[in-house]
């Protein structure tokens, strides 16, 4: 239901002291420019952290699996998959562990203590040192949206405040504790770490938009305290141990009434939203009554999973956008660089460079505490890809270039709240739906462009060098390498692969894949050995026909970035997408998420026929879930 991308195409339609310190990005940009480009370009970010080690032989060692239309997970010979943490299982709050009811009669209050719906980005945080840290840890995962046809016993046939509350409770983020014994994983219940962040959880707003006039509402006259996080799609991790959850298509939850302002239209606000119907029972989502509430979403939110009392913080310095994910690199001199794509047709790719350097933990502070406000100050940039294979990062800084008061940006708060409008003004490159981003061991930054059926259509942007296919049904993976270090302001780019099916007659849809074919890349993750894992999200409305006729269900593949070879590792159940990936430090368990198994082509399930498309995973009402994948011999996954 919620993923109605047809609605996205109309998205064209103060000195604000942060709560931590006064910022002046324009001044800092000048200062940084004066430092010159750091030498080198060797990746020093998270993706390069060591795991198993001492391995020899080819990077990818498994035998690929064929395309599949089975309602099952298929993994290579010699591998096992185990379903864990499905939607609705209790997260493990002491004294509050309501069991999942297959007739979907769990209440909103019960859903608040249960795993959310529609799992997405995920990360494993070890608990314990050495080998113990690969057997016990926290899984922190996003829940992107809800299929209300499955969430409620009678779907949306009736509608009520209780149902809105249950839908809000099924959104957000879950933290669960997990442990492995003899190759089998289980959720630890109760756990002191178990936590849910929902569409109603109190959060702090920090950075240049905190306290801004455009962030103030009747319920929060300070503009610094928001309720909830929504449409949490991809995620990222910081070197200081926190989790970044990304608010993607937040606008769909709001009703904009009969008319919208130009700014509201630029974000895709429309009369009754995208079908969530929250505004009918929760006035906060009626933008005609609370027009600034929409400005309080679209941020990257930082969560410290190791501190069960920590309040999530919306980090506005990284810009407001339909953030797909957030990928952190580290410069040689210790600055954090956060890449994020905006998944909507003709939107942008951003990067943020922290002003300060990452600090180590001390005797009295954890790393998370030592870097608590690092993401509140820095320079936000938007990407411009030139036809000659070069590119530049354009600063989104008030007072620099066109971003003046006269142009509608009177302070940095207004720039980050109106990141899209500012990027339009600077002439940034309009992309074919940028999804996840990750970085290889040579410092190439990869980004999936999942598809764009509107490229080249009437009154829409034409093809360009970076987005070379009109009616791009298949998607691409692009990559770039910064000049100098990750904080460089120029780069070189190329197409890593154009996805497609070589057997198709339509030349533009064939692609140039070396190895197993795929379409609509979305999830992207570099494991500790440097394998680039690709996850697909062909929409259920497009699957099995047209250019996707031979692709079967969504899948996950491994790519050797040095040879370009791509090998299919896993296929998912019917009507699902595969998204999110993480591993234990020893590389012997990989966790991925299966999102929306059983999704119907209308993207809204019929509650009277919930198992019509899929009954995965337990031969009953379909449930999004995490899957733990291991080699039967206990070896490193992927070798
Ligand atoms: Fe939430 Fe762009 O997928
Ligand atoms: Ca996605
Ligand atoms: Ca997608
Ligand atoms: Ca999705």
pLDDT tens figures, 274-315: 999 999 999 999 999 999 999 999 999 999 999 999 999 999
| CA 356 to chain centroid | 25
pLDDT in tens, 160-199: 999 999 999 999 999 999 999 999 999 999 999 999 999 9
Q: How far is 567 from 441, CA to CA, in rounded Å?
A: 19
The mean pLDDT of the chain is 92
Tell me, in angstroms, the distance from the centre of ligand 3 to residue 326's CA.
Answer: 15
- Determine the Cα–Cα distance for residues 170 and 556; give it in Å rounded to an integer: 26
C-alpha span between 555 and 569 (Å, rounded): 8
d(CA 8, CA 269): 9
CA-CA distance, 188 to 190, in Å (whole number)?
Answer: 6
Which atom number of ligand 1 is nearest to the Cα of residue 324?
A: 2
Mean predicted confidence (pLDDT) in 37-63: 49
**How confident is the model at residue 626, as a pLDDT?**
99
Please tell me the distance from the alpha carbon of residue 25 to that of residue 28, in angstroms, as a whole number.
5
- Average pLDDT (26-41) is 37
Distance 501 CA to ligand 3 centre (A): 19
Helix (H) or strand (E) run with residue 237 in it: strand 232-237
Element holding 31 (H helix, E strand): helix 25-35
Protein residue whose Cα sits closest to atom 2 of ligand 1: 343
Taking CB atoms within 8 Å and a gap of at least 24, the contacts of 222-225 are 224/19
Q: State in Å: Cα 559 to ligand 1 middle.
A: 21
Query: What is the per-residue pLDDT for 607?
Result: 79
What residues form DSSP beta bridges with 566?
515, 559
Residues flanking ion ligand 2, Cβ below 5 Å: 233, 522
Q: What is the reported pLDDT for 24?
A: 55
pLDDT band at residue 74 under the 50/70/90 scheme: very high
How many angstroms is it from 520 CA to the middle of ligand 1? Answer: 11
Rg (CA), the chain: 23
User: What does the pLDDT average to over 252-272?
Assistant: 96
Write the DSSP string, 298-337.
S-EEEE-TT-TTPPPEEEGGG--S-B---EEEE-TTSEEE
| pLDDT of 602 over the 80 cut | no
pLDDT, mean of residues 135-152: 97
Quote the pLDDT of residue 43. 29
| pLDDT at position 29 | 52
Read off the pLDDT of each residue in 571-579 and give the average, rounded to a whole number. 98
Q: Strand, helix or coil at 444?
A: coil
Question: How confident is residue 121, by pLDDT bands cut at 50, 70 and 90?
Answer: very high
- Measured over the CA atoms of residue 400, residue 401, residue 402 and residue 407, the dihedral's sign is positive
Spell out a b/e string for 613-626, using b for 16 or more CB atoms within 10 Å of the CB, else e. bbbbbeeebbbbbb
Q: Which residue, chain included where needed, has tokens 């922290």?
A: 354
Dihedral in degrees, nearest 10, Cα atoms 340, 345, 347, 351: 10
Residue 346 backbone phi and psi in degrees, to 5: 65, 30
Report in angstroms the alpha-carbon separations of 127 from 43, 137, 177, 218, 359.
26, 4, 9, 42, 22
CA-nearest residue, atom 1 of ligand 1? 233
Distance CA(349)–CA(351), nearest Å, equals 7
Using a pLDDT cut of 90, give the percent of the chain over it: 89
Which pLDDT belongs to residue 388?
Answer: 98
Spatial CB neighbours of 357, under 8 Å, sequence gap ≥ 6: 333, 334, 335
Ligand 1 atom with minimal separation from the 322 CA: 2
Q: Is the pLDDT of residue 45 over 80?
A: no
pLDDT tens for residues 196-237? 999 999 999 999 999 999 999 999 999 999 999 999 999 999
Q: Is the pLDDT of residue 54 over 80?
A: no
How far is the C-alpha of 210 from the C-alpha of 17, rounded, in Å? Answer: 7
Ligand nearest to the Cα of 577, by number = 4
Q: Quote the CA–CA distance of 354 and 239 in Å, as a whole number.
A: 13
Pocket lining: 233 vs ligand 1, CB cutoff 6 Å:
yes
Report which bound ligand comes closest to the CA of 118: 4
pLDDT of residue 75: 98
């Amino acid at each position: 239901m919620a993923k109605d991308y047809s609605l996205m195409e109309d998205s064209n339609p103060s000195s604000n002291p942060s709560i931590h310190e006064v910022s002046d990005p324009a001044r800092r940009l000048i200062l940084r420019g004066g430092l010159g480009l750091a030498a080198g370009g060797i990746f020093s970010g998270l993706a390069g952290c060591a795991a198993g080690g001492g391995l020899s032989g080819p990077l990818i060692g498994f035998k690929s699996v064929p395309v599949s239309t089975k309602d099952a997970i298929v993994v290579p010979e010699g591998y096992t998959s185990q379903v864990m943490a499905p939607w609705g299982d209790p997260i493990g709050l002491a004294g509050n562990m309501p069991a999942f009811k297959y007739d979907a009669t769990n209440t909103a209050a019960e859903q608040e203590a249960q795993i959310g719906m529609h799992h997405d980005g995920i990360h494993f945080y070890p608990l314990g040192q050495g080998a113990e840290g690969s057997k016990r840890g926290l899984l922190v995962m996003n829940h992107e949206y809800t299929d209300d046809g499955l969430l409620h016993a009678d779907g949306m046939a009736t509608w009520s405040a209780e149902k809105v509350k249950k839908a809000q409770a099924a959104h957000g983020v879950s933290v669960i504790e997990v442990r492995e014994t003899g190759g089998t994983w289980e959720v630890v219940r109760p756990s002191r770490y178990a936590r849910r962040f929902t569409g109603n959880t109190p959060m702090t707003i920090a950075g240049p938009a905190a306290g801004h006039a455009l962030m103030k509402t009747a319920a929060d006259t300070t503009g610094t305290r928001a309720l909830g996080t929504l449409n949490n799609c991809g995620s990222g991790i910081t070197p200081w141990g926190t989790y970044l959850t990304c608010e993607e298509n937040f606008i769909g939850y709001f009703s904009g009434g009969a008319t919208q302002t130009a700014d509201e239209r630029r974000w895709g606000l429309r009369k009754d939203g995208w079908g969530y119907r929250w505004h009918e029972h929760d006035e906060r989502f009626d933008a005609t009554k609370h027009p600034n509430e929409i400005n309080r979403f679209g941020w990257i939110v930082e969560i410290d999973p190791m501190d069960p009392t920590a309040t999530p913080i919306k980090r506005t310095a990284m810009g407001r956008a339909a953030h797909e994910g957030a990928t952190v690199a580290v410069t040689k001199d210790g600055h954090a660089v956060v890449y994020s794509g905006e998944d909507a047709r003709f939107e942008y790719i951003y990067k943020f460079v922290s002003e300060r350097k990452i600090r180590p933990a001390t005797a009295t502070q954890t790393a998370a505490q030592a870097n608590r406000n690092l993401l509140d100050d820095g320079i936000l940039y938007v990407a411009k890809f030139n036809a000659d294979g070069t590119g530049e990062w354009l600063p989104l800084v008030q007072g620099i270039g066109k971003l003046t008061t006269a142009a509608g940006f009177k302070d940095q708060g207004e720039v980050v709240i109106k990141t899209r409008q500012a990027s339009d003004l600077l002439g940034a490159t309009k992309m074919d739906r940028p999804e996840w981003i990750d970085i290889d061991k040579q410092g190439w930054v990869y980004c999936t462009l999942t598809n764009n059926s509107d490229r080249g259509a009437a009154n829409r942007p034409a093809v360009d060098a970076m987005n070379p296919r009109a009616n791009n049904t298949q998607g691409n993976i692009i990559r770039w390498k910064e000049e100098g270090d990750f904080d460089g302001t120029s780069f070189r780019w190329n197409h890593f692969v154009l996805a497609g099916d070589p057997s198709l007659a339509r030349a533009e849809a064939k692609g140039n894949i070396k190895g197993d074919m795929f379409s609509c890349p979305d999830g992207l993750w570099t494991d500790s050995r440097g394998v680039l894992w690709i996850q697909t999200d062909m929409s259920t409305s497009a699957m099995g026909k047209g250019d996707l006729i031979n692709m079967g269900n969504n899948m996950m593949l491994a790519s050797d970035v040095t040879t370009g070879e791509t090998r299919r590792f896993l296929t998912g159940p019917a009507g699902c997408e595969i998204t999110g990936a993480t591993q234990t430090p020893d590389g012997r368990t990989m966790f991925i998420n299966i999102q929306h198994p059983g999704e119907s082509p209308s993207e809204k399930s019929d509650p009277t026929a919930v198992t019509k498309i899929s009954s995965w995973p337990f031969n009953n009402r379909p449930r999004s879930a995490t899957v733990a994948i291991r080699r039967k011999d206990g070896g490193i996954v992927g070798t």
